[in-house]
Amino acid sequence: MWPKEEQIKANILNNNSIVAKLSYKNFSILLTGDIEEIAEKEILKEYESTSLLKATILKVGHHRI
C-alpha cells in the first residue's frame, strides 16, 4: 500500500517504509512499518474513500505514543 512512486522527502527512510495489509478469511492485519505522522496523513488521504485501511489488528509504528 505504501510507499508510492512519489516519495516523502522528510525523514525518507521512515516515511517511505513499507505499509502492507495481510488478509486471510475474516482476519486482517495492517502493518505500518516505521512511518511517522506525515506518512500517516498521506496514507489517510490516499485511501479515505475506500475501506482498505480497516483491519482486525493495526500494528502502529513506534513513533506513535
| pLDDT band per the 50, 70, 90 thresholds, residue 63 | low
**Structural domain contains residue 1:** no
- Residue reference for cell 502493518: 31
The residue among 2, 1, 6, 17 whose CA lies nearest residue 61 is 17
The domain containing residue 54 runs over which residues? 12-59
What digits encode the pLDDT tens for the residues 10-36? 999 999 999 999 999 999 999 999 999
**What pTM value is reported for the model?**
0.85
The overall longest dimension of the chain from CA atoms, in Å, is 37
Q: Considering the domain boundaries, does residue 38 fall inside one?
A: yes
The number of folded domains in the chain is: 1
- Dist CA 57 CA 21 (whole Å): 10
Residue 65 domain-assigned?
A: no
